[in-house]
Amino acid sequence: MIDLRRYARPLVRAARMARRRWERGPIRHETIDVGAGAPAGDGAFDGARAFELLRAQCDMGPRAPGTDGHRRTLEWIVDQLRPHVDALVLQRWEQKVRHGPGAGRRFAMTNVLALVHGRDGADGAPDLMLSAHWDTRPVADSDPDPARRALPVPGANDGASGTAVVLEAARALRAHRPSRSVALALWDGEDLGEYYYGSHAYEAAFRRGTVPWRPRRGILMDMVGKRGLRCSTEGNSMRLAPELWRDLHACAEDMDLGAHFGGRAYTVNDDHVFLSRAGIPTVLLIDYDYPQWHTTADTVDQCDAASLRIVGDVVLRYVRAGAA
């Protein structure tokens, strides 16, 4: 059976975007000390480790802004990144939510920005930014059971999967540095209210020139952990960053992983739209054919290490061969 709500999602989101007004407090940047630790492991993307990072997030419970799980997960992300990155900055602000889940409330939100230096050293500006959203949706409003639609989404795939790939990529890049620095970012507030608060705040700071470094293009990952992954053919990515889209898929073909890409066509609004609008052309890797999307069934057992590894392998190949 075809779930029409899934096809309606981009239209509903576009309508919300059109009428949205942003009510946001000042954006502050807080620099976190990082340990100059020795590299851990080798430069290969470890799918099993990434899967454990996905599971660890889910073990902290739902991670919607304002929850305990959200606070704990932010501390955990900082702990995960500190040994593996050369710079770490928290981008913080207070966000008023006008519509949708959380409407009428204000939330403390935080984007996590990190940098792994390339072999060109500390002065090298990052060319590429790898990113994902780390928050989860406070309501399972697409759950087939109406009685469960007020419950929070576990967010194994929608939230934890992309975050796990970014965190494991940090370790792998630090272990075997690329020729150029790589920026990493984890966005908050993607999945409540009017959506995409994190990338919108980043866009505003980027335009004002207050962000700590200025990547020139980006890869966003969202819902990349599903068993039997096949990333969608995503219209906004092909329009906003056609060259990067083509090069990334060439990497997948080179690695005989092309069968996991080129899935059904969708045009998805996500954080990459705001990043591209800011001047950082960004592609979105997403498998949008996920019946558990925004349901209470978005759980760890829907995901596996193999899928995370496919995405991690292709992205690292691009970093090292394409952009590097």
Segment lying near Zn ion (by CB under 5 A), choices 43-51, 76-84, 154-162, 179-187: 154-162
Residue 230 CB, shortest distance to Zn ion, in Å, is 19
Segment lying near Zn ion (by CB under 5 A), choices 76-84, 104-112, 157-165, 304-312: 157-165
Cα 142 from Cα 146, distance rounded (Å): 9
Segment lying near Zn ion (by CB under 5 A), choices 168-176, 180-188, 189-197, 315-323: 189-197
Residue 137 CB, shortest distance to Zn ion, in Å, is 5
Q: Which two tokens stand for residue 53?
A: 């990072």
Total residues contacting Zn ion (rule CB under 5 A)? 3
Q: In 10 A of CB 77, how many CB atoms?
A: 23
Determine, following the binding rule CB under 5 A, whether residue 158 of this chain makes contact with Zn ion. yes
Residue 294 CB, shortest distance to Zn ion, in Å, is 6
Residue 313 CB, shortest distance to Zn ion, in Å, is 24
Cα 317 from Cα 324, distance rounded (Å): 9
Q: Which of 127, 191, 287, 298 binds Zn ion (CB under 5 A)?
A: 191
Give, as ranges, the residues between 123 and 152 that touch Zn ion (CB under 5 A): 137
For Zn ion, the closer CB: 46 or 191: 191
Segment lying near Zn ion (by CB under 5 A), choices 38-46, 84-92, 187-195, 197-205: 187-195
Beta bridge partners of 89: 31, 113
For Zn ion, the closer CB: 155 or 218: 155
Residue 195 CB, shortest distance to Zn ion, in Å, is 8
Residue 222 CB, shortest distance to Zn ion, in Å, is 8
CA torsion angle for 24, 286, 169, 95 (degrees, to 10)? 10
For Zn ion, the closer CB: 12 or 259: 12
Residue by residue, DSSP assigns 203-235 as HHHHHHT-SS---SEEEEE-S--BTT---EEEH
For Zn ion, the closer CB: 158 or 271: 158
Q: 248 vs 84, 241, 252, 321, CA distance in Å?
A: 24, 11, 7, 10
Give, as ranges, the residues between 218 and 277 that touch Zn ion (CB under 5 A): none
Segment lying near Zn ion (by CB under 5 A), choices 93-101, 153-161, 274-282, 304-312: 153-161
Cα 229 from Cα 50, distance rounded (Å): 15
Cα 127 from Cα 216, distance rounded (Å): 5
Q: Which of 82, 39, 89, 28 is nearest to 214 (CA)?
A: 89
For Zn ion, the closer CB: 126 or 159: 159
Radius of gyration of the chain (CA): 18
End-to-end alpha-carbon separation of the chain, Å? 44
Q: Which positions touch Zn ion (CB under 5 A)?
A: 137, 158, 191
